[in-house]
Structure 1
Amino acid sequence: MGEPHSRIEEESPAQLPLLVTTQTQEEEEKDYHLDRILHRLDVFLCFFGFHQSSVLGFLLSWAVFLLFGVSVPVVILKLLSCSNCEKYQIYNFELDIIVSQSCLTAVSLGCISHNLRKYGIRKFLFVDRFHGHMLSFRKEYIEMIEGFFRLLVYWMLPCFLLKIAHEVIRIIYVYHHSWWQSVGMFLAMILSWAYLTTISLSACLLFNLVCNLQVIHLDNYGKLLERDSDVSVFIEEHLRLRHHLSKISHRFRIFLLLACLIVTASQVVTLFWVTGSSGIINFINGGDFAVASIVQVVGIVLCLNAAAKISSRVQGIVSVACRWHALVTCNSTDASESGFSNSAGNLEAMNSAGSLRINYSESDLESVDYFAPPMNTRPVSYLSTYHKRQSFVTYLQSNPGGITIFGWVIDRALINTIFFLEFSLVLFVLGKTLVLTTK
């Protein structure tokens, strides 16, 4: 009986270096995958002009934008005139769409390139080793960055197909030029639209990505309640998360504000044109309105959804901390009165009190919504630990945090306010354009 045990004891020290080597190789492989996906994202942003770290890059990026995103579609609309263009009011409609798309793209390009030039891709996404706890969440980081590209393809592809169908139909029924002129106009309009749309939608998805990366840390924050009993650890981690959210709000507040204003103005002008036009609105002259509106509204919805998700997680942390404080207080009192320490009886009392859960809405069901009850309750120094927990809960209630725009927290209440303001604006425009006369 003693021989097998001695053999195991002799072999186990030799196996330890193999285990350490295997774990090191796995860590290096994860680092390689994260570096590769970050490099892929960096190259993508550089290709579309978001990298403006040098004077040459700055001039080249804005020169391409002015030439390819503004001048080309305007020149095409001027030169390739037709006899049916005035009938369909194509020029006026197209010019308004180009102006709105160019303004939104300029805001996206300017705000994102400024942040990338100042912080770099890793600090911009908070995935560097000092700010993002990269070693603990590398797998989640990779999934979120890959999701950036998937979302971009999912939203670009149907709009791209709709844009192609619109341009083909318009060339067939409106423009009657030679085939090479029609093909050239078609390619120029499609490529210009794809360039502008990719930049504006990528900026919104980058904000969505930054928020989703912070959601990983917010979901993990509640697990500290079952791993640690030191209140100072909770406060220190919460301060770090609030600092990151404050940085995100500061970096994106101008972008979010200007993007909302541009999209709102664009939709109001579109509504004025559609309801105030005396001609017939069909797919030929109104198709671009539909495509541009889909892209702009989707971008704003992605931004607001990501910001509201952050605020919901922060409010959920306050709820979990309050319940954690109540459970620990009740069971600590019971344990101190009955003379028992942190034993199986205390554990049963904790489990009978219920689990710590965050009740998210249906849109948040993909998140981790379960936190196990704390296992480290001790009746020693009960009053002292109680006051520490109480001060921690009071701190959380007084500092909810979240993504803000000049002090306004982006949560469901603010989104409801924005919705009703937009709805009131729509009704106002309809009241000014759709007028029934008795004459």
Structure 2
Amino acid sequence: MAEEGEIMDLDKEGRMAALATPEANTRSALLDPGETDLDRSLCHLEFFLSVLGFHPYSSFFNCLLCVSSFILFGLAAPISTIVLTRCPRGCEVYRVQRFEVSVVVFETLLASVSLGCISRNLFKYGIRKFLFVDQQHGQVDRFQKEYVRKIQDFFLLLLWWILPCFLVKIVREIIRFGIISQDSTWKAVVVLLFSVLSWIYLTTVFLSSCLLFYLVINLQVIHFEDYGRLLESDTDTFVFLEEHVRLRYNLSKISHRFRAFLLLVFLFVSASQFVALIQITGYNEIVSFTNSGDLAVASVVQVVGVVLCLHSAAKMSHRAQGIASVACKLHALLTCSSSDTSQVRTSSCSNLEGIHAAPLLITYSESDLESLENVTVHMNTQRVSSMSSYNKRQALAMYLQTNAGGITIFGWTIDRVLMNTIFFLELTLVLFVLGKTIVFTSK
């Protein structure tokens, strides 16, 4: 009887568990315990980019909404403000909006370049492959906290850069509102709303694209810092070589994806600054906050975007170049501290012929990069096993010295040398413009 009672209790507990299972499954589906912090951060980032229009190809409705938003806030609104504030050359409103046409033109150009380049990459690769946080190499769990922190920094930086510029923009628009309202109040209200909404949209699109490049680079910095720690561990040299090939391959893909965006941004921002310089130096009246405040805000936003791109690219290039010095230092320390003199005497590089280095040293094109997603490094294990520890470290140091990698634009590595070159070219052009526009006459 006792056994029958125990069997009945077990059956009762089993039926209760079976009845409770659907509810438990429903609760687990609602809570989604498999979703990580990184997944939620990526969803928030993707939704934010979709709202701005960076992901227009997910559906026809989204595509229509993105195109409509750009036409409304990027083209119709700024053109309407210019048309509504037109007046004869000598009027006060004309002096207020003296530099507004050039500002609107370059803001629209930069926003269109940002939307076109970033949207193409997001549609082609998706948000995970675009940021290189996919599950391909099994490193998401290790770097998940760093990934989430970098994505949160994306939103914080965007807020910190837009907020002060927005306050300056509002003050300037209020001043213009007071001037236009003397003629027509409804016209002043329309100009104020259109100008502010258009500026918020165009500025957010441009800075978001620059910060996306900044985010992609900072996520790769995490991997290079981890690679520097990996070099200090007692690991097989082949592991170091294979990991560096993968990191350099990722940098090559980033350079190919962003090269057109970076080049166009540099050109348009430089052109905008020179047009503004020519307009200011050729303006005969007093330059004040009322008539040039919009120009100042636009210049700050454009320079901030360029600085973010240059700083992140140069930071990544120097991190990649610094890996070679770390490897050489460790190689020298291990060689000097080694008591095995036979390894030092066998420092000839003749044994390096066993490495099939051709697949590692080729600079691939974009089509080659896409076709070699899953390429792994193959080596002659029989000959590698016969190499001494010294020769392995020497081969790795030589490889890292000649294949440092970095962010490039059509072969030009973005580092301090290129930044100094750009600075002196810009300074030369500025001095040339000032020499042609500012003339001192002596009586």
Q: TM-score if structure 2 supplies the norm length?
A: 0.79
| Distance in 1 separating the partners of 2:73 and 2:308 | 26
Over residues 400-437 of structure 1, what are the superposed CA-to-partner deviations in whole Å (9 max), with x where a residue is unaligned? Answer: 10000000000111111111111111111101111123
Q: Counterparts of 2:155 and 2:34 in 1: how far apart (Å)? A: 19
Partner of 1:153: 159
In structure 2, the partner of 1:403 is 407
Residue in structure 2 matching 1:219, options 220, 225, 234: 225
Structure 2 counterpart of 1:327: 333
Rounded Cα–Cα distance in structure 2 between residues aligned with 1:422 and 1:175: 41
- Give the C-alpha shift of residue 245 in structure 1: 0.4
Once superposed, what is the RMSD of the aligned Cα atoms? Answer: 2.2
User: Which residue of 7, 30, 36 maps to 1:32?
Assistant: 36
* 1:173-224 deviation digits (Å, cap 9, x = unpaired): 4552343432232121101100000000000000000000000000000111
Distance 1:320 1:435, change over 3 A: same
Amino acid in structure 2 at the alignment position of 1:72:
A
Question: What percentage of aligned pairs have identical amino acids?
Answer: 56
3-state DSSP of counterpart to 1:333: coil
For residue 412 of structure 1, the aligned residue among 403, 412, 416 is 416
Structure 2 gaps of 5+ residues are 1-31, 344-384
The residue number in structure 1 matching 2:254 is: 248
Name the counterpart of 1:172: 178
Per the TM alignment, residue 438 of structure 1 is displaced from its structure 2 partner at its CA by 3.9
Indicate the SS of the match to 2:388.
helix
Deviation string 1:222-271 (CA, Å, 9 cap, x unpaired) is: 11123333110000000000011001000000000000000000000000
Q: Which residue matches 1:432? A: 436
Distance between the aligned counterparts of 1:280 and 1:40, measured in 2?
47
Matched residues in 2 for 1:168 and 1:85: separation? 22
CA drift at 1:76: 1.9
Distance 1:148-1:85 versus aligned 2 partners, 3 A rule: farther
1:140, CA displacement in angstroms? 0.2
1:233 corresponds to which letter in structure 2? V
Residues 84 and 162 of structure 1, relative CA distance in 2, 3 Å threshold: farther
Query: 1:114-165 CA distances to partner (integer Å, 9 max, x unpaired)?
Result: 0000011111000111157211100000000000000000000000000000
Q: How do 1:234-245 and structure 2 match up within 5 A?
A: 234-245=240-251
SS at match of 2:55: coil
**Equivalent residue, structure 2, for 1:62:** 67
Q: Check 1:223–1:279 CA distance in 2 against 1; reply closer, same or farther (3 A cut).
A: same
Secondary structure of 1:128's counterpart equals: coil
Structure 1: distance between partners of 2:439 and 2:88: 31
Indicate if the aligned counterparts of 1:31 and 1:138 stay in contact, CA closer than 8 A: no
- Residue 141 of structure 2 aligns to a residue whose secondary structure is coil
The TM-score, its normalising length taken from structure 1, stands at 0.80
Alignment partner of 1:223: what SS? helix
Quote how far apart the aligned CAs of 1:85 are: 6.9
What is the CA distance between 1:83 and its match in structure 2?
6.4
Check the 8 A contact 1:30/1:138 in 2, yes or no. Answer: no
Counterpart-to-counterpart distance in 2, 1:122 and 1:208: 16
1:120 and 2:126 matched: yes
Residues 94-103 or 165-174, more deviating: 165-174
Aligned with 2:201 (options 195, 201, 222): 195
- The answer to whether the 8 A contact 2:151-2:215 is kept is yes
- Residue 89 of structure 1 aligns to a residue whose secondary structure is helix
Opposite residue 263 of structure 2, the aligned amino acid is L
Structure 1 residues 74 and 199, CA gap change in structure 2 (3 angstroms): same
Match of 1:300 among 277, 297, 306: 306
Q: After the TM superposition, which residues 126-141 of structure 1 pair with which residues of structure 2 at under 5 Å, given as runs? A: 126-131=132-137, 133-141=139-147
Equivalent position of 1:369 in the other structure: none
Match 2:101 to one of 84, 92, 95? 95
CA-CA distance at 1:64 after TM superposition: 1.9
Q: 1:161 to 1:274 in 2, by over 3 A?
A: same
- 8 Å CA contact 1:403, 1:410 repeated in 2: yes
Instruction: Letter of the 2:82 partner, please give it.
Output: L
Cα offset for 1:280? Answer: 1.6
SS at structure 1 position matched to 2:140: coil
Aligned residues: 369
